[in-house]
Structure 1
Amino acid sequence: MMILKIITVEEHIQFKNITEAIQKQTGNALPSLSSDMLNYMHTSLPSANQMEDTSQARIKFMNQYGIDMQVLSYGNSSPQNLQPALAVELCRQANDQMAAAVASNPTRFAGLATLPVGDPAAAVKELERAINKLGLKGVELKGNFDNRFFDDPMFFPIFEKAAELDAPIYFHPSFIPSSITDHYFNSPNWSDVATGILSSAGFGWHMDIGIQIMRMVVSGIFDKLPSLTLVSGHWGEFIPMFFERLDEELTPYSNLKHPFSYYYRHNIYLTPSGMFTKPQLDLVKTEMGADHIIYSVDYPYKQPTNTNSFLTQSGLSNDEIELISHQNAEQVFHLDEN
């Protein structure tokens, strides 16, 4: 039997003091959510202990399913999208605590930074500190800030600094505006909780972050920053299914140097986020290649029992398993560097 080394890269943590500070300022640890979303989240969220734990249930899960390392990033109560007056200091605190969590068990954990994106100059400064002084391995960006997608020129300095530092940026879904929820997902034909599911983990936030990364490509950012690396979960949030369609329709009308799919296949890595399903794996492997797939569980939001067996029972070659289970993560997140 093949002995796997497994590194997973979309694994979440939160810190009590950050959550409490957000709660104090906004009245809710999950800001700007509609009542239907709050209903859904309150029935599906892991406990605070699970989110904050780095030594008991988390390690037990990792050991049970053969996970050698988790790359930690901030969970749903991230301070990233708060207004800068609060976000700058809370992101700094979150990164300090992330670095401390990693230092508590450096062979089992690495970490990604949280940035106060509403103040790009402060975000650039914090990114540099997080990578060069704290030893974090990249950045997680959640959703969008103040209804601005990240292709907005306002945010370009963040990506420019990330490219300079060779720091990968993981794009993670977050809650979509209530107007979008109402337009696409609300109906008297189903419950508020069903609306919450459809607008979030069921479909909506995947659609939203897929559009986010699609916009990044079409903006031409990879022509400006050809070394920039992005990571997208949930098998690419629908986009790989449309590579050929986007190339055919968009190429004659864009100012890009290459077809849409070229940038995806060169600058973007995809992860399953615990969606261990063979049809999606087969599609992404065909479109991207095993050398652009990185493993992820989405712990503790998801705790799939086939975390280990999915790799060995999906028809992958030994070389493909090694790439997906740890080699791609080590390369992209520089996990072999102290």
Structure 2
Amino acid sequence: MSTIPLLSLEDHFVSSVCQQDDVAETLALHQFPGPILQRLIEVGPERLKTMDEGGVKLQVVSHIPVVIGAQECRATNDQLHKDIKQQSGSFAAFATLPVGEPQSIASELKRCVKDLTFVGALIPNHANGVYYDGPDYLPMWQAAERLKVPIYLHPCPPSSQALPLFHGNYSEEVDFAIGTHAWDWHANCGLHFIKLYASGLFDKCPNLKIVLGHLGELLPFMLGRIERKLALTKDSKSWKRSFTEIYAQNVWVTTSGMFDVESLKLVLATTKIDRIMFSIDYPFESTLLSKQFMVEFREAALVSEEDYARIAYKNAEELLGVRVIEGESRGPL
């Protein structure tokens, strides 16, 4: 079979600003394994080498989810712009936004898209427990719609108020896993999207583009039930479109960290082929494992070669306005 390139949308770094004591402590960088932290800091030759090993021609780099002020976001975005500009088109970028200062979000998003040619933004699932379904955050969503760029809603650790929910008759290590990557931050990200829908956001911003990682943050499995149960509420009469319509028309999902063909089968059954995109979650996930997953998926012949290529890179090209060329790549058009 011919080689089909890969484009990954969920791959992270840590800026110099966020390595300073106060932010680093909030991010718990001291708990990251040394090799992971080194890969997060570096956006250059070593990252490119790992991409080559995994068959990734273009990587969209974003900061790990963080709640920082407008000044720190600006410095982070400027650093990322400088870093990727030096790497001859192998990278594109998602903006870091000051989600804790909603009045500053829209202007920074506009600056990043217009001046730095970023292709959207990746934001943490909540800002210290605050979700983005309220009126303070409407300008952010309106700006993204106006600029025609996606917002990637990314899981993050639970707020301090929510932490006791995960305590139980097991170790702190298991406690942490349940509250984060083993379960809750995926479920909570799916919950956030439901809150956005229920708030009427997609009536106000009908062309908004949302990206959900990890094969849709549990939503594909629950689509039918969510649709039926929300339809029983009085509020449903005010929504212009159903939940499944919004999912089909406003959402893209990625494979980040979910390298399981059986799980992908469910997403293929519930999600339009042009809304499914490959991603890795570098450096927290292995590029080699993700490559093997795509080999297994292709060999399973669950979709046509053309549809496989759409998932591998073409859908992301169309969403982000970038192009991957066989043997090389270039960033934003």
Using the size of structure 2 for normalisation, the TM-score is 0.90
**Deviation of the 1:304 alpha carbon:** 4.6
**Deviation of the 1:146 alpha carbon:** 3.4
Say whether the 8 Å CA contact 1:214–1:239 is kept in structure 2.
no
* Correspondence for 2:121: 139
**Displacement over 6 Å in runs of 4+:** none
* Correspondence for 1:35: none
* Correspondence for 2:16: 16
* Correspondence for 1:34: none
Which digits, 9 at most, give the CA deviation of each residue in 1:47-71, with x for residues without a partner? 4321011223311111111100100
* Correspondence for 2:212: 232
In the aligned structure 2, how far is the partner of 1:117 from the partner of 1:65? 33
Give unpaired runs (5+ residues) of structure 1: 32-37
In the aligned structure 1, how far is the partner of 2:308 from the partner of 2:105? 36
Distance change >3 Å, CA 91–CA 43, structure 1 → 2: closer
Match of 1:52 among 41, 47, 53: 41
2:252 aligned with 1:276: no
In the aligned structure 2, how far is the partner of 1:141 from the partner of 1:331? 21
In the aligned structure 1, how far is the partner of 2:229 from the partner of 2:2? 44
3-state DSSP of counterpart to 1:313: helix
* Correspondence for 2:326: none
In the aligned structure 2, how far is the partner of 1:317 from the partner of 1:309? 18
In the aligned structure 2, how far is the partner of 1:292 from the partner of 1:27? 35
Taking only the aligned residue pairs, the percentage that are identical comes to 28
* Correspondence for 2:7: 7
2:150 aligned with 1:168: yes
Which digits, 9 at most, give the CA deviation of each residue in 1:201-239, with x for residues without a partner? 111111111111111122221121111100000111111
Q: CA RMSD in A?
A: 1.8
Match of 2:91 among 109, 113, 125: 109
2:221 aligned with 1:223: no
Which digits, 9 at most, give the CA deviation of each residue in 1:240-298, with x for residues without a partner? 11111111111242121222111011100001112110122111111012211111100
Say whether the 8 Å CA contact 2:220–2:270 is kept in structure 1.
yes
Which digits, 9 at most, give the CA deviation of each residue in 1:165-208, with x for residues without a partner? 0010000011112332312x211x21111101111111111111
Say whether the 8 Å CA contact 2:186–2:217 is kept in structure 1.
yes
* Correspondence for 2:167: 186
Say whether the 8 Å CA contact 2:106–2:143 is kept in structure 1.
yes
Say whether the 8 Å CA contact 1:46–1:301 is kept in structure 2.
no
In the aligned structure 2, how far is the partner of 1:282 from the partner of 1:126? 38
In the aligned structure 2, how far is the partner of 1:127 from the partner of 1:330? 20
Match of 1:120 among 102, 107, 115: 102
**Deviation of the 1:147 alpha carbon:** 1.8
Alignment of 1:15-34 (within 5 A): 15-20=15-20, 23-24=21-22, 28-30=25-27
* Correspondence for 1:98: 80
**Deviation of the 1:8 alpha carbon:** 0.3
Structure 2 counterpart of 1:329, which letter? A
* Correspondence for 2:327: none
Say whether the 8 Å CA contact 1:12–1:298 is kept in structure 2.
yes
2:224 aligned with 1:244: yes
Using the size of structure 1 for normalisation, the TM-score is 0.89
Give unpaired runs (5+ residues) of structure 2: 324-331
Distance change >3 Å, CA 59–CA 190, structure 1 → 2: same
* Correspondence for 1:74: 63
**Deviation of the 1:103 alpha carbon:** 0.5
Say whether the 8 Å CA contact 1:113–1:127 is kept in structure 2.
yes
Distance change >3 Å, CA 163–CA 146, structure 1 → 2: same
In the aligned structure 2, how far is the partner of 1:45 from the partner of 1:195? 23
* Correspondence for 2:320: 333
Match of 1:201 among 181, 184, 188: 181
In the aligned structure 1, how far is the partner of 2:55 from the partner of 2:79? 26
In the aligned structure 2, how far is the partner of 1:27 from the partner of 1:131? 27
Match of 1:257 among 229, 237, 240: 240
Structure 2 counterpart of 1:318, which letter? E
Structure 2 counterpart of 1:8, which letter? S
**Deviation of the 1:5 alpha carbon:** 1.4
Say whether the 8 Å CA contact 1:143–1:176 is kept in structure 2.
no
2:139 aligned with 1:150: no
Distance change >3 Å, CA 306–CA 27, structure 1 → 2: closer
In the aligned structure 1, how far is the partner of 2:24 from the partner of 2:61? 26
**Deviation of the 1:2 alpha carbon:** 2.3
Say whether the 8 Å CA contact 2:120–2:149 is kept in structure 1.
yes
**Deviation of the 1:45 alpha carbon:** 7.1
Distance change >3 Å, CA 258–CA 27, structure 1 → 2: closer
